[in-house]
Homo-oligomer: A and B are copies of this chain.
Amino acid sequence: MKSDDTPAVATEPEASTPPRRRKAHIRHSNEAHLLACAEAVFAERGLDGASTAMIAERAGLPKANLHYYFPTKLDLYRRVLEDVFEEWHRAADTFESSDDPADAIAGYVRAKMALSRRRPLGSKVWANEIIHGATHMQDILTDRVKPWMETRITMIDDWIERGLLARVDARTFLFTIWALTQHFADFDAQIQALAGKRALSKKAFEATTEEVVALVLRACGASPVDAGDASGAVADSGTRRD
């Protein structure tokens, strides 16, 4: 983290690559490496807190080199946001994996949790940008996220009409899934401070994932996909009345 001499060489070009392709490869490899380092620094410090010098240092390149590949800091930031969106979008496909609501929703929640685990830094950059007004990603939200959301709302409303789901507000329900799953990436510092641990182990994260799946499925009134030990059921008193 505070390394004064990170080598950070990103996949050396092969010896026998022809000149054209080698240059293209260098560009591609340096860009990818810079993007990864930028994602980390933007996640840790935010757009304003991150300096091009910090990103370049982490990448093991001189600052001028960074500006050679990405003319301005904002260009680099935009590219990071777009990358994060593309991965989110791939995970979002899970929603269509099944026509059974419990299946589809559980699958989506698991995919989102896995993403929070695998790429928490991207989630943080995204969250940070939205908190500060989403000024640099209005187009992504309007042109890409919104259309996706509209189709899923139709899907959910259809499930409700067929009696497969409780009468939830579809939009609020989708926000629920996002808020919950991304919380484990964005707020991990708080989770660690309150749980007194350094970081969640793979096993603990999987347990938490199933806990979240169960919470979400109950919240929307979909029955559990596979009955775990005691996941979906109220202890013994069923639906209580006073």
Contacts and interface: CB of A to CB of B under 8 A. Distances in A.
Interface string A72-116: 000000000000000000000000000010100000000000000
Contact of A131 (B168, B187, B219, B230): B187
A172 B242 CA distance: 26
Interface string A221-242: 1110000001111111101111
A141 interface: yes
Given A134-B193, A176-B180, A194-B149, A163 B46 contact: no
Contacts of A48: 45-46, 48-49
This chain: copies in complex: 2
Interface of A: 43-49, 100, 102, 124, 127-128, 130-134, 138, 141-142, 145-146, 149, 160, 163-169, 171-173, 175-176, 178-180, 182-184, 186-187, 189-191, 193-196, 208, 211-212, 214-216, 218-223, 230-237, 239-242
A194 B140 CA distance: 10
A190 B182 CA distance: 14
Contact of A141 (B124, B190, B232): B190
A170 to B, nearest CB: 10
Contacts of A221: 218, 233-235
A214 B130 CA distance: 26
23 contacts: A44-B132, A45-B48, A46-B47, A46-B49, A46-B128, A46-B132, A47-B49, A102-B240, A131-B131, A134-B190, A141-B193, A142-B193, A149-B194, A163-B235, A164-B240, A165-B235, A166-B234, A167-B233, A168-B215, A175-B184, A180-B180, A216-B219, A223-B240
